[in-house]
């Protein structure tokens, strides 16, 4: 029994890490809660195996490195969850007996985002902290300030100091657009808006956070001088101060009213612009909340009723395989059409060979289909009892479905790849689509249909061919008029002004996204130096690991790629950093590893990180014996300070740092 308990604890701890730290859950909330209940039952039956660090004794953590840690004045505990209206009734009865007096309940939508606590003083936002481990969390104030629905300055009559708690959310429309962009770049898709919001809030670059268009809904006030003893009236007051408070809130006098609210929103929530996963039920009176108190993990005066993920059963008719820009092969299940979460589902991703093998799929199987976060269809299981006259077992391809090349699988990778990147049609066209995309060369007029048309007619076989296109060749093609031809040529000409770092990104080197392309450009400064860089040269650059370095070396070891780059250079593309950017770079910090900690007066943390990179230094997140120095502002993290003192790492302020880099430039 002890072994079973310990195994279950380890499994839940891993799922906690996947969910809160990586923001990449591998099981549903329902499955996690079911396993947690199993563990709670086993621990209750065997108290001799009690462990204070068991998943049942703590709130999951979302703490990540890179943010200052702030203790919560009021602990942020999680709510008890249930998927059963019977357990909601049990909660009601416990509350009635615990209070032994009349009480009201407030029903609210449970928004599916990432929890946040905001502190306001004299009407100004002074701090935003994530839930973390419930006792302390990450200070993400700079990122939260980019969310336009969150007021920086309040209006009306408000307490001098208070906290307000809520959820940071990514609206469905923003989520869909973000995933479309990531899919076009063949980056891993976010499973649902919750993961996207959580991942975004933890980004170090607040400008990227701002571009993600996050939203915030708020649902609880804390403080000494709140407007009312009633939670519902406090929410109304918060709305008048400028906070986004959901209209889907109802004061209920009976269990029947609670049940009606649950049943109504189980259907109606699908029409909302943001994700929800249940209903939160709270005692309305704050004094009654105080009387009911807390367990070690959650309040006794509230409970969360969670909606079941919608599932459907349908037939698997076939499996097709898509080849992406990088050669990654994605298996797709083709299904009998089935209604699911308001849309008709005909296809579902099977992700990779390991998923197919674990499902033990046969053509003709009846399969359970679910939408992860109600947006991405996936097959979760097979109804093996329903097998009748099934076809062949589904086995992953061994050769590329487009060009016939033998597939390869790299160590540590889940996907299979077609290695034939220069002659496999989907990869060629995919590289061109990436090259002309908005964040790369931004060439108008060359969408996927036009690229396919030009490819089929032999006018585009390589990204460099874009700069050799002639107006007469274009206008003779069906569906391409004179105006379109001139637009394509004008777009190609204008793209010659695109800076070097975006050209590096546009080349489509595997694993080299926007950020990595910028780091490579700043480190090597021109295409010739990047082309000649060794594996050792590359891994010495901040955030360039061996996998990325090998990919860059491999790209430039291919003679076709070298020829393509040479043609692009001859066409007039920017193949080195601009004069302005070269002047802003120095070598004062070459070979130095720098840790940034605290808040600064003259520049933001992101600006200092950029300065470190521009001057040849490397940004590192944690203090070690290899740290050259710490750039410290106000409120430096106590753990970093203690570690620096123990290791004898030098600490400098921002004035000293700015002098260091300016002196080197003046010497030049």
What are the catalytic residues? 110
Distance CA 322, CA 330 (A): 5
Angle at 443 between CA 438 and CA 444, to 5 degrees: 95
Residues recorded for the chain: 668
Q: 353 and 363 in contact (C-beta within 8 Å)?
A: no
No. of helices (H) and no. of strands (E), the chain: 25, 20
Rounded Cα–Cα distance for residues 201 and 193 (Å): 12
Rounded (to 5) percent helix, strand, coil in the chain: 40, 20, 40
Q: Is 661 exposed, middle or buried (0-12, 13-18, 19+ CB in 10 A)?
A: buried
Distance CA 421, CA 462 (A): 11
194: three-class secondary structure by DSSP: helix
Contact assessment for residue 541 and residue 525, using Cβ atoms and an 8 Å cutoff: no
Q: What is the DSSP letter of 153?
A: B
Cross-strand partners of 371? 377
Q: 346 near 337, Cβ under 8 Å? A: yes
Cα 264 to Cα 14, 260, 275: the distances in Å are 35, 6, 16
Q: Please, how many CA atoms are within 13 Å of residue 560, restricted to the half-sphere of its CB?
A: 8
Residue pair 392/316 in contact (Cβ under 8 Å)? The answer is no
Measured CA to CA, the distance from residue 668 to residue 657 in angstroms comes to 18
> How far does Cα 607 stand from its chain's mean position?
23
Q: Which of 600, 634, 605, 635 lies closest to 621, judged by CA?
A: 605
Q: What does the longest C-alpha to C-alpha distance in the chain come to?
A: 87
- Kindly state the helix (H) or strand (E) to which residue 167 belongs, with its residue range: strand 161-169
List the beta strands (DSSP E) in 285-357. 302-306, 311-323, 329-340, 343-349
Distance CA 289, CA 37 (A): 25
Give the span between the Cα atoms of 124 and 142, in whole angstroms: 14
Residues 6+ apart with CB under 8 A from 55: 9, 12, 13, 16, 36, 39
Q: Which two three-digit tokens encode residue 646?
A: 């123990």
**Rounded Cα–Cα distance for residues 446 and 219 (Å):** 47
Kind of pairing between the strands at 629-632 and 593-597: parallel
Report d(CA 497, CA 492) in Å as an integer: 10
10 Å CB burial of residue 262 (0-12, 13-18, 19+) is middle
Nearest Cα neighbor of 345 from 363, 372, 321, 322 is 372
DSSP 421-453: TTT-HHHHHHHHHHHHSTTTT--TT--HHHHHH
Beta strand pairing call for 376-382 and 593-597: unpaired
Distance of CA 505 to the CA centre of its chain: 21
């Amino acid at each position: 029994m002890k072994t079973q308990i310990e195994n279950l604890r380890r499994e839940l701890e891993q799922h906690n890490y996947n969910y809160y730290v990586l923001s990449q859950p591998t099981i549903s909330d329902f499955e996690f809660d079911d396993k947690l209940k199993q563990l709670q039952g086993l621990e209750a039956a065997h108290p001799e195996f009690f462990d204070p660090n068991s998943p049942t004794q703590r709130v999951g953590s979302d703490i990540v490195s890179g943010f200052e840690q702030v203790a919560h004045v009021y602990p942020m505990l999680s709510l008890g969850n249930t998927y059963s209206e019977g357990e909601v009734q049990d909660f009601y009865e416990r509350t009635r007996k615990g209070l032994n007096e009349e009480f009201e309940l407030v029903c609210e939508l449970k928004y599916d985002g990432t929890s946040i606590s905001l502190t306001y003083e004299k009407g100004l936002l002074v701090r935003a902290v994530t839930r973390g481990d419930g006792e302390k969390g990450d200070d993400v104030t700079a990122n939260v300030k980019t969310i336009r629905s969150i007021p920086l300055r309040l209006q009306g009559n408000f307490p001098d100091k208070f906290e307000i708690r809520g959820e940071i959310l990514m609206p469905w429309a923003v989520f869909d657009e973000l995933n479309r962009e990531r899919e076009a770049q063949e980056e891993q898709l976010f499973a649902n808006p919750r993961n996207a919001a959580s991942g975004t809030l933890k980004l170090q670059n607040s400008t990227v956070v701002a571009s993600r268009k996050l939203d915030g809904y708020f649902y609880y006030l804390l403080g000494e001088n709140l407007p009312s003893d009633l939670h519902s009236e406090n929410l109304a007051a918060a709305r008048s101060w400028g906070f986004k408070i959901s209209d889907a809130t109802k004061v209920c006098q009976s269990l029947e009213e609670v049940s009606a609210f649950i049943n109504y929103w189980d259907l109606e929530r699908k029409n909302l612009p943001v994700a929800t996963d249940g209903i939160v039920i709270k005692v309305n009176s704050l004094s009654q909340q105080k009387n009911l108190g807390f367990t070690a993990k959650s309040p006794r005066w509230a409970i969360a009723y969670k909606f079941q993920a919608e599932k459907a059963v349908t037939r698997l008719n076939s499996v097709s395989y898509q080849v992406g820009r990088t050669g990654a092969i994605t298996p797709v299940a083709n299904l009998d059409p089935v209604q699911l979460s308001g849309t008709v589902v005909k296809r579902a991703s099977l992700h990779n060979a390991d998923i197919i093998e674990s499902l033990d799929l046969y053509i003709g199987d009846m399969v359970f289909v679910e939408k992860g976060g109600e947006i991405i269809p996936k097959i979760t299981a097979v109804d093996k009892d329903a097998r009748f006259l099934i076809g062949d077992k589904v086995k992953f391809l061994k050769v590329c479905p487009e060009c016939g090349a033998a597939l390869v699988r790299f160590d540590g990778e889940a996907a299979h790849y077609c290695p034939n990147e220069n002659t496999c049609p989907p990869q060629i066209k995919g590289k061109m689509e990436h090259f002309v995309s908005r964040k790369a060369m931004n060439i108008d007029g060359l969408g996927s249909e036009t690229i396919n048309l030009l490819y089929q007619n032999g006018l585009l076989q390589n990204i460099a061919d874009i700069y050799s296109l002639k107006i007469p060749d274009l206008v003779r093609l069906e569906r391409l008029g004179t105006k379109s031809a001139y637009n394509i040529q004008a777009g190609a000409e204008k793209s010659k002004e695109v800076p070097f770092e975006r050209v590096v990104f546009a080349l489509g080197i595997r694993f080299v996204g926007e950020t990595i392309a910028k780091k490579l450009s700043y480190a090597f400064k021109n295409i010739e130096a990047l082309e000649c860089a060794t594996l050792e040269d590359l891994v010495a650059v901040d955030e360039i690991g061996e996998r990325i370095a090998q990919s860059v070396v491999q790209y430039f070891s291919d003679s076709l790629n070298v020829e393509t780059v040479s043609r692009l250079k001859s066409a007039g593309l920017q193949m080195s950093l601009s004069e302005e950017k070269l002047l802003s770079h120095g070598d004062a910090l070459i070979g130095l590893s720098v840790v940034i900690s605290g808040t600064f007066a003259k520049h933001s943390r992101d600006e200092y990180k950029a300065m470190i990179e521009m001057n040849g230094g490397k940004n590192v997140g944690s203090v070690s014996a290899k740290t050259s120095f710490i750039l410290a502002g106000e409120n430096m993290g106590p753990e970093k300070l203690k570690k620096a003192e123990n290791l004898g790492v030098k600490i400098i302020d921002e004035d000293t740092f700015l002098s260091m880099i300016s002196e080197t430039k003046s010497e030049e």
